[in-house]
Structure 1
């Protein structure tokens, strides 16, 4: 097994693997018994290789691991420790939330924020119930249930957003149509005034010649 496969995993990697298993079961690739058996293997997995073995016969989604973090060198006396991540928050800023990300999250509807947190919360609750209370695989059924409910909520939100966008496009088209009509009316009025002025000019010229 390669060095990368021997790297140990934590709760974050296990939660991501459980979420991926729930999506495979929702898609019909796994039945309930297979989901329970693989969920137990995910909970017991200690390395990346053991997690990947659970998904050996499954397509994406599957666990994706980032590169191993480099070892932080001890800073010299009197010098601040440089952050490993260029997006590391500055002193006084909250960890894990940049200003742009926080603004995007605050601008999302409440329903979307609740739905986005349901699946990770279900994963945590399932792990706690499995290790501390029941020790049975069916507690992991909370994860696909949360995924279904979350999908329904997000789906309703998407429909509402699409309907809002459709109405906005309709309003824009109606405004453009009215603008074109006003322009055509103004052009017709201008042409009518020009014809009237030419008629008056010709009538006045003939009258001057007669006199």
Structure 2
């Protein structure tokens, strides 16, 4: 059984970002104009509670801000979570796995050889060359997990949306 959280419950920055995103969708749909967007976004930035955010969206249909970070009350206590499984690289080929293992070892070996005086400092270019080779073979994100790529792509989309909103606001001011 869940209960509805109080409107006096304080909100997080994530809630404010969700509200700004929802407000941008309302502006894109033509429900509010650029001036009203500016006024409401200022109120969202200053909001401290759910009730204040609710007032801003009272006359608008969905989407509304999401409050996913607030745990809901439940009748039964949650079961303890199992330890997360160790992360495995996604779909790496054997050469990628080999290079990912050998590059740190090559750096350690090069530093040790330089420190002992066995070889001169240019040996450091061997592990650097391996790194450059890996990047050229498998692209920029061959060593990032899928979730990192999704966050990065979402960040780029959000940044582009903010730029479009900023530019449309500037155009409106110029008229």
**Interval containing the TM-score (normalised by the shorter chain):** 0.3 to 0.5
Per the normalisation by structure 1, the TM-score is 0.39
Greater Rg over alpha carbons, structure: 1
More helix per residue: 1 or 2?
1
Per the normalisation by structure 2, the TM-score is 0.46
